[in-house]
Amino acid sequence: MTIPHWLRVALLLLPGVGLIGAFIGSVVFIAIAQSFGYYNLTGESAFTLDDWRAILDRRLFERSVAYSLYVGLFSAVASVIIAYPLALWLRKPFPGSSLIGAVLKAPLLVHGLVAAFLYVNVIAYHGIVNQFMQWIGLWTGPRVLQNDDNAIGVLILQTWKNMPFALLLLTGAVQAISDDVLDAARDMGSGPFARFRKVVAPLTVSALQAAMVIIFIGAVADYSFQAIAGPINRQSMAQLMVFFKGDGQWNNAAVVGVSLMAIALIGSGLLALVARLFVKGASLR
Amino acid sequence: MSAIEVSGVTMRFSAFTALNNISATVDEGEFVTLLGPSGCGKTTLLKLISGFLHPTSGTIAMSGKDITRLPPEARDTAMCFQSYALFPHLTVKENLRFGLREKRVPADEQRRRLDPVIAQLGLEPQLDKLPNQLSGGQQQRVALGRALVMQPKVILFDEPLSNLDAKLREIVRVEIRRIQQQNNLTAIYVTHDQAEALAMSDRIVILNSGKIEQIGTPRQVYHEPRTSFVADFIGSANVMDAVVKSGEGKTWNVDTPLGALELHSERQPAGRHIKIAWRPEAAVLNGNGPNRVTVRPSHSSFQGSYTDIFFASNDREFRVQLREIQGEDLSREELAFSIPPQQLKLLEAVA
């Protein structure tokens, strides 16, 4: 392409991508600058590494990074693990498959906050789960299920919300594999699991990577599920950032925000790489 | 013992009967073609043999062992697909090795099987390429090689040449037959191309609407068709109604739209009202034997080595193919030819 062509493409993209880039770019710039002491709302604005040093030394920050990574990784992996068999099941149309597909994708249309409050109601001390478990005689009395220490509630919500997205991407990729290719693998002696490892997974690895990266970024930066259904004694990075901001510690909040962006970026890259290597390794075994 | 024995196989998809009480055998080292028009059930029969489908009733045996309910991965067959079905993410070499690895064939045995197939199919320069970097003919060779290295009891071909151009089709067709004969493979080949079937097969199974019309060698099905469908489907034929008037020994006198004709047949007519057929090329120009017919051609079409001449008689159109003797013009107002009695074939009774 010639320079005028490139210019034309750039100008055409400018109203859309340019605007987004400008807004996100300015926020990212301010966050980075603030984490190094600039845009200081409560004192002198000057370059400093003090805020980074202070935050990186805090156990609270370490714990919130570990916790956010735990939620992000688990949600991404669990979502694709559940989505793959469903995508394979829905690969070929059958009576009712459209309805099942639509119902499975419904969480995409439910707001996260609504889902979180619904979930909290269901598992509440006098909620339906507790009542049911007592009714069937497994529990003698109600149990506290809310805000559990291992963040099971957050993981369930994240997986419930994100699995349909993985399903959407994986269904398309799985449907693109021709019947003949799968039949050929069968004909060559591959059983169901070998067909998945050696044919389906390698041919859908791009969709798998995309799903994992997007889910990971969303889940690692989770705030609402954590705030409503998460453990009380732990904070996600987003929660920690909001805590610092609420306390007027803008520079510390910026350090957490920039760390979160870096973790999301590097983590998603690593996750995509590991997913590809894992699929390749599994297909060679 | 037959390599494959299909006994009374019926296959229904809901209310549709794809195959109706099919029985056939394939001997070891034999090349059998399933031939028929689209929707006749030939691919369904191949899928039943390969295990991708299970019959509604009937049995399929391989070397005497019942394999009717065995899944494809447990059968000793290898299929060459119409779409080639190469694994797009694997190189040619990996594609060739795929089945051997699945069957856990030791590495030295893998090499022992791969090397001659690679050499035989000329795949050496393509080994590190991905399927999308190959031409259609090369992909077909890889698909064939992938099946050959498995050394299956039976190799199955599902219209493997239909995606190739005419010239390449002819080359690969010869190659498949050569490899099948060299390796003494039992092969079942599905096609709707009668020329392909005639050129390659030891025997042909002709299917129509889920039933077997005739099984025979290429020469048998061409020269001795049993039904009007076979006569018309294999090559071209003039099929007409006939009434058997009299007969003695192997000679029968029949009334036809072309007049009274005499035919010689080893078989008895299937009834008084029957169908008979003769090939357009059976006509002998200005022949003086029995069955001499004089017609007024409606039109003719020069085809190079022969000329197609069309004429109508009793509201039926007929065709004869005549070789032009150098300089002779066959576009005449009136044409006389004879049909040798042994070239008239008895077919089924008229319902």
User: Can you give the pLDDT at residue B330?
Assistant: 67
Q: How far is B195 from chain A (nearest CA, A)?
A: 26
User: Can you give the pLDDT at residue B105?
Assistant: 94
**Contact flag A191-B73 (C-beta cutoff 8 Å):** yes
The backbone torsions φ and ψ at residue B264, rounded to the nearest 5 degrees and listed phi first, read -110, 130
Q: Does B98 touch chain A (CB under 8 A)?
A: yes
CATH of domain B4-223: 3.40.50.300
Q: Which residues 130-169 of chain B have a CB within 8 Å of chain A? A: 146, 150
Provide, as residue numbers in chain A, all residues whose Cβ is less than 8 Å from the Cβ of B88. Answer: 181, 203
Question: How many independent structural domains does chain A possess?
Answer: 1
Q: What average pLDDT score do residues A260-285 get?
A: 92
CB-CB: which of B83, B146, B150 is closest to A178?
B83
CA atoms within 13 A on the CB side of A25: 6
Q: Does B88 touch chain A (CB under 8 A)?
A: yes
Provide, as residue numbers in chain B, all residues whose Cβ is less than 8 Å from the Cβ of A183. Answer: 52, 72, 79, 81, 85
Q: What average pLDDT score do residues A197-224 get?
A: 95
CB B174 within 8 A of CB B150: no
Provide, as residue numbers in chain B, all residues whose Cβ is less than 8 Å from the Cβ of A187. Answer: 50, 72-73, 77-79, 99
Q: Which residue has the tokens 């559940």?
A: A82
Q: Which two tokens stand for residue B259?
A: 């007049």
Q: Does B54 touch chain A (CB under 8 A)?
A: no
CA separation for the pair A161, A168 (Å, rounded)? 12
**Contact flag A199-B87 (C-beta cutoff 8 Å):** yes
Residue A167: inside a domain, yes or no? Answer: yes
Residues of chain B with CATH 3.40.50.300: 4-223
CB-CB: which of B52, B73, B85 is closest to A189?
B73
- The ipTM, to two decimals, is 0.82
Q: Which of A215, A260, A229, A203 is nearest to A68 (CA)?
A: A260
Q: Does B13 touch chain A (CB under 8 A)?
A: no
CA separation for the pair B40, A142 (Å, rounded)? 66
Residue B102 is classified by DSSP as H
Please give the residue range of the domain that contains residue A185. Answer: 58-284
Q: Which of A73, A97, A258, A250 is nearest to A167 (CA)?
A: A97
CB B284 within 8 A of CB B225: no
**Contact flag A180-B81 (C-beta cutoff 8 Å):** yes
Q: Tens digits of per-residue pLDDT, A31-47?
A: 999 999 998 888 888 99
Q: What is the CATH number of the domain that holds A244?
A: 1.10.3720.10
User: Can you give the pLDDT at residue B121?
Assistant: 86
Q: Does A176 touch chain B (CB under 8 A)?
A: no
Provide, as residue numbers in chain B, all residues whose Cβ is less than 8 Å from the Cβ of A204. Answer: none
Query: Sheet harboring B284-285: ordered strands across?
Result: B284-285, B335-338, B292-295
Residue A42: inside a domain, yes or no? Answer: no
User: Can you give the pLDDT at residue B7?
Assistant: 96
Amino acid at B61: A
Instruction: Kindly report the three-state secondary structure assignment for every residue of chain A.
Output: CCHHHHHHHHHHHHHHHHHHHHHHHHHHHHHHHHHCCCCCCCCCCCCCCHHHHHHHCCHHHHHHHHHHHHHHHHHHHHHHHHHHHHHHHCCCCCCCHHHHHHHHHHHHHCCHHHHHHHHHHHCCCCCHHHHHHHHCCCCCCCCCCCCCCCCHHHHHHHHHHHHHHHHHHHHHHHHCCCHHHHHHHHHCCCCHHHHHHHHHHHHCHHHHHHHHHHHHHHHHCCCHHHHHHCCCCCCCHHHHHHHHHHCCCHHHHHHHHHHHHHHHHHHHHHHHHHHHHHHHHHHHC
Q: How far is B44 from chain A (nearest CA, A)?
A: 14
Amino acid at A73: L
**Contact flag B79-A190 (C-beta cutoff 8 Å):** no
Q: How far is B93 from chain A (nearest CA, A)?
A: 13
Q: Which of B49, B69, B56 is nearest to B21 (CA)?
A: B56
Residue A16: inside a domain, yes or no? Answer: no
Please, what sign has the CA dihedral across residues B141, B147, B149, B151? negative
Q: Tens digits of per-residue pLDDT, A150-168?
A: 999 999 999 999 999 999 9
Residue B190 is classified by DSSP as E
Q: Does A203 touch chain B (CB under 8 A)?
A: yes
Q: Work out the angle at residue A18's Cα, subtended by the Cα atoms of residues A13 and A24, and round it to the nearest 5 degrees.
A: 145
Q: Does A83 touch chain B (CB under 8 A)?
A: no
**Contact flag A180-B78 (C-beta cutoff 8 Å):** no
Q: Does A144 touch chain B (CB under 8 A)?
A: no
Q: Which two tokens stand for residue B135?
A: 């031409």
Provide, as residue numbers in chain B, all residues whose Cβ is less than 8 Å from the Cβ of A203. Answer: 88-89
Q: Tens digits of per-residue pLDDT, A65-118?
A: 999 999 999 999 999 999 999 999 999 999 999 999 999 999 999 999 999 999
CA separation for the pair A210, A217 (Å, rounded)? 11
Residue A37: inside a domain, yes or no? Answer: no
CB A146 within 8 A of CB A120: yes
Written as tens digits, the pLDDT of chain B (351 aa) is: 789 999 999 999 999 999 999 999 999 999 999 999 999 999 999 999 999 999 999 999 999 999 999 999 999 999 999 999 999 999 999 999 999 999 999 999 999 999 989 988 889 999 999 999 999 889 989 999 999 899 899 999 999 888 888 888 888 888 889 889 988 899 999 999 998 999 999 999 999 999 999 999 999 999 999 999 999 999 889 999 999 998 888 899 999 999 999 999 988 898 899 999 999 999 988 878 888 988 888 888 888 888 889 998 888 899 999 887 656 666 677 888 999 999 999 999 987
User: Can you give the pLDDT at residue B315?
Assistant: 83
**Contact flag B83-A180 (C-beta cutoff 8 Å):** yes
CA separation for the pair B110, B94 (Å, rounded)? 12
Mutation site, A179, A183, A187, interface B, largest B CB count within 10 A:
A187
User: Can you give the pLDDT at residue B287?
Assistant: 78
Q: Which residue has the tokens 């939620």?
A: A71
Please, what sign has the CA dihedral across residues B118, B119, B121, B126? positive
User: Can you give the pLDDT at residue B351?
Assistant: 76
Q: Does A188 touch chain B (CB under 8 A)?
A: yes
Please, what sign has the CA dihedral across residues B60, B63, B65, B70? negative
Helix (H, G, I), strand (E, B) or coil at B41: coil
Among all residues of chain B, which has the CA nearest to that of A176? B88
Residue A36: inside a domain, yes or no? Answer: no
Split at pLDDT 50, 70, 90, the class of A5 is very high
Provide, as residue numbers in chain A, all residues whose Cβ is less than 8 Å from the Cβ of B52. Answer: 183, 186
Q: Which two tokens stand for residue A250?
A: 């803008």
Mutation site, B83, B84, B154, interface A, largest A CB count within 10 A:
B83
For the stretch B259-265, contacts whose Cβ atoms lie closer than 8 Å and that sit 24 or more positions apart, written own/partner, are B259/B293, B261/B290, B261/B291, B261/B339, B261/B341, B261/B344, B262/B290, B262/B291, B262/B341, B262/B344, B263/B341, B263/B342, B263/B344, B263/B345, B263/B346, B264/B341, B264/B342, B264/B344, B265/B344, B265/B345, B265/B346
User: Can you give the pLDDT at residue A56?
Assistant: 95
Q: How far is B15 from chain A (nearest CA, A)?
A: 17
